[in-house]
Amino acid sequence: MRLPGRIAAAIEILDDIQARHRPVSEALRDWGLSHRFAGAGDRAAIGNLVYDALRRKLSLGWRMGVESSWGLAVGAAVLEWGEEPAALNAAFAEDRHGPAAISEETILRLGEDTLAEAPDHVRADVPEWCVANLRDVFGDSWVEEAAALGGRPPLDIRVNTLKGGRAKAVSQLARLGVEPTPLSPVGLRIPPAEAGRRHPNVQVEEAFQRGRIEIQDEGSQLCALLVGAEPGEQVLDFCAGAGGKTLALAAAMGNRGQIFAYDSDRSRLAPIYDRLKRADVRNVQVRSPAPDALEDIVERMDRVLVDAPCSGSGTWRRRPDAKWKLTADSLARRLEEQDTVLRDASRFVRPGGLLAYATCSLFAAEDGERVEAFLMAHPDFEPASMAEAWAKALPGVAAPAFPGGNLLLSPHRSGTDGFFLALLRRKV
């Protein structure tokens, strides 16, 4: 397929997402199944166009003067990929599968800096109702912080230290362009993919198949390290899901001690068994949801990690469709879930033990406000020092600022996904 056909396919997929309110990954998969003539390169380019269009949906629509699927796909080609409008029009005219041409009026508009006149939420590429949530966290820099959530993400990898060090993994994956992550001592990074290309499929690599590496954002790697789990300790991963942080904790503990991996949703836990086997993790006990699944470990855990369900606003680079589906009502439901899960998880922390509360959100309502509400309702807990945890887990790595005593990461300030972590100690 030539570029006009790829843009036309992106328009078709964007129309499908809009009409059927379906996830972008599902729409792309179904389009590929019904257009088997499209090669891997075609599918990669079309997918990138769709994702770029959704990441910059408001600013592209503003600059193009139209928010239709045509405007978003063509706008992404011009403004994100650097295609010249006149050259695109010539290509469209020569390709019977090409989309409608770009009007002279739109070409003139694209030559002007109209985005400078746009409302803040358009320049930030976020729903207008989210502005207060972001301003509460970032103050006057919220537009820059939010706009960074519209960029292309890197592909981050965690080295499984149970099976070797980072230097060996770098050597094995050198042809993929990996480089050490700036903060995590066990991380590798493949930079954001160029327009029209996708990241390499790391899961087919021998290093992945043999459990030497896992795909995991650097922010999540830092979270697991800052929990501070040590060999021989008793640890509960209360919202373990597919087990990404469980595996990272096991590596930090050198397979010594005991980790209990639990999730209230059995289906989310399903992938963990194969992942544990591949990574050669032997100190994890998976607990499936049941009324008494964890009653034998109440007040026995040295550390409890709560990676709470959240809006996912910190992951909008990777899941841009979620940005436009999120509503104030769904956020309110998440806040209730977070209060419940934090309260329930606290039962398992021993006196003197640590409770770690994490989200992949950049909203104060889901982060610091939930911690404050928990501390008010549970006077037997108090904040633990994030600065001390950082110095112990990441010696020699420059510490960021810790707003409110907590860790807050974002694409703009740390190059990671958006991530929040608070550490709380149960009083003796």
Q: Which of 391, 298, 384 is nearest to 347 (CA)?
A: 298
| Residue 263 marked ligand-binding | yes
Question: Residue 415 — left, alpha, or beta (φ > 0 → left; ψ -120 to 50 → alpha)?
Answer: left
Separation between Cα atoms, residue 382 and residue 268, nearest integer Å: 31
Is residue 349 within 8 A of residue 426, CB to CB? The reply is yes
Active-site residue, selected from the candidate residues 130, 223, 310, 360: 360
User: What amino acid occupies position 222?
Assistant: L
Between CA 67 and CA 52 the distance in angstroms is 14
Rounded CA separation 225/223 (Å): 5
- Say which residues have a Cβ less than 8 Å from residue 312's Cβ, sequence separation at least 6: 319, 322, 326, 360, 361
DSSP assignment, residue 292? T
Burial class of residue 12 (count of CB atoms within 10 Å of its CB; 0-12, 13-18, 19+): middle
3-class DSSP assignment, residue 35: coil
Query: Which residue type, as a one-letter code, is found at position 189?
Result: R
* DSSP 8-class letter at 129: G
Q: List, in order, residues 6 or more apart from 64 with CB less than 8 Å away.
A: 71, 72, 74, 75, 106, 109, 110
Question: Which tokens go with 276?
Answer: 């544990």
Does 360 participate in catalysis according to the annotation? yes
Spacing of C-alpha 156 from chain mean position: 11
Question: Residue type for 52, please?
Answer: D
Cβ count near 217 (within 10 Å): 29
156 is in an annotated binding site: no
**Encoded amino acid at 303, one letter:** R
Q: Is the dihedral of CA 391, 394, 396, 397 positive or negative?
A: negative
In one letter, which amino acid is 255? Answer: N
Binding residues: 263, 307
Residue ranges for the known binding site for S-adenosyl-L-methionine are: 263, 307
Catalytic positions are: 360
